[in-house]
Amino acid sequence: MSTITLSSGASQETHTTMRRTAVGTDVDALAREALCNNNEQALEELIHTTEPWLRRLFRLRLSGAPSLGVEPEDLEQEFWIRVTQGKYIPSKPFWPWAQRIALHLFIDEVRPPHPPPVVPLPPNLPVRRSSAVDIDLEAINNSLNPEERDIIFKRNWEGMSWAEIAKSRSASIGSVRSKWHRAKVRLRKCLES
């Protein structure tokens, strides 16, 4: 059995692996009984056995990110929801599986939300002038050659993959990506001027 050294601020605490936390308890057998046979008493014992490790893990992980507004107890609850809804394989050890769930749960909590996708305008969209923003979209669109305009349209408007665009243009993926990048640089320069 190994030990894991985790640091919290300036001090370091050494925590033993979950197997040592549950001395005298066959956690794999408890997990099989609780998760495969739907035994509520075994699930309660499993929760009680792993609670100190889980709470310590989430507190240490969250200590570096106090601005998240997430409490360790909330993560614990979500952890057990995922564990009970997950697909535990009885022939595999419980601890590594539980550690992966805990890690992915923490990552899901700290990961920033994805920004909405940027959708470019189609090539032949009629241009309307706005008094607030005086951008000549038609001139910017015309600054691209037809091949670049086509690649930008297929990639950003239609959502085609690089392979699909390359196949439709009878070109290599690298060539398509290079032309797409050059077109984006040209569009950026036009917008900045």
% of residues, the chain, pLDDT over 70: 75
Of the candidates 144, 94, 150, the one whose C-alpha atom is nearest the C-alpha of residue 122 is 150
Is residue 5 predicted with pLDDT exceeding 70?
Answer: no
Cβ distance 27 to 18 under 8 Å?
Answer: yes
Selected residue with higher pLDDT from 147 and 70: 147
In a 13 Å sphere around the CA of 176, the CA atoms on its Cβ side amount to 20
Selected residue with higher pLDDT from 122 and 84: 84
Cβ distance 91 to 82 under 8 Å?
Answer: no
pLDDT score of 108 = 82
pLDDT score of 73 = 83
Q: Which pLDDT band, with edges at 50, 70 and 90, does 37 fall under?
A: confident
Average pLDDT in the 9-16 region?
Answer: 35
DSSP state of 112: P
Cβ distance 94 to 28 under 8 Å?
Answer: yes
Cβ distance 151 to 186 under 8 Å?
Answer: no
Distance CA 95, CA 21 (A): 11
CATH of domain 3-110: 1.10.1740.10
Residue 36 tokens, joined:
């495969």
Is residue 133 predicted with pLDDT exceeding 80?
Answer: no
Where do runs of H (alpha helix) occur along the chain?
18-21, 27-31, 40-63, 72-85, 94-110, 137-142, 146-152, 162-169, 173-192
**pLDDT averaged over every residue in the chain:** 76
Residue 97 tokens, joined:
């599986």
Q: Which pLDDT band, with edges at 50, 70 and 90, does 10 fall under?
A: very low
pLDDT score of 178 = 92
Is residue 131 predicted with pLDDT exceeding 60?
Answer: no
Any idea which residue has 């797409």 for tokens?
Answer: 180
Q: Is the pTM of this model over 0.85?
A: no
**The CATH number of domain 137-192 is 1.10.10.10:** yes
Is residue 3 predicted with pLDDT exceeding 60?
Answer: no
Distance CA 12, CA 6 (A): 6
pLDDT tens digit string along 138-191?
777 778 888 888 888 888 878 888 888 888 888 898 999 999 999 888 888 887
pLDDT score of 110 = 73
pLDDT score of 161 = 87
Lowest-pLDDT choice from 95-104, 121-130, 135-144: 121-130
**Secondary structure of residue 156 in the 3-state scheme:** helix
Of the candidates 55, 47, 4, the one whose C-alpha atom is nearest the C-alpha of residue 27 is 47
- Dihedral over alpha carbons 39, 41, 47, 52 (to 10 degrees): -150
Break the chain into its structural domains and give their ranges.
Answer: 3-110, 137-192
